[in-house]
Amino acid sequence: MVYPLETNYQPLANVIYEGESIGIQPNSIDLCASGVQFNSTKPVSEYKILEMQLKLPPEPYCPCKETITCSGVVVDCCKNADCGHYHVSLFFLDMPETGQGHLGH
What whole-number distance in Å separates Cα of residue 96 and Cα of residue 68?
Answer: 8
On whether residue 30 sits in a domain, the answer given is yes
On whether residue 17 sits in a domain, the answer given is yes
Whether pTM > 0.85 for this model: the answer is: no
CATH number at residue 86: 2.40.10.220
On whether residue 3 sits in a domain, the answer given is no
What whole-number distance in Å separates Cα of residue 64 and Cα of residue 94?
Answer: 17
On whether residue 4 sits in a domain, the answer given is no
Span 43-93, pLDDT tens digits: 999 999 998 888 766 655 555 566 788 899 999 999 988 888 999 999 999
Identify the domain containing residue 89 by its residue range: 12-103
Q: What are phi and psi of 22, to 5 degrees?
A: -80, 140
What whole-number distance in Å separates Cα of residue 89 and Cα of residue 72?
Answer: 10
On whether residue 45 sits in a domain, the answer given is yes
Span 15-51, pLDDT tens digits: 877 777 777 776 788 888 889 898 888 899 999 999 8
Residue type, 3: Y
Alpha carbon 77 to its chain's center: 13
Domains in the chain: how many in total? Answer: 1
On whether residue 1 sits in a domain, the answer given is no
On whether residue 5 sits in a domain, the answer given is no
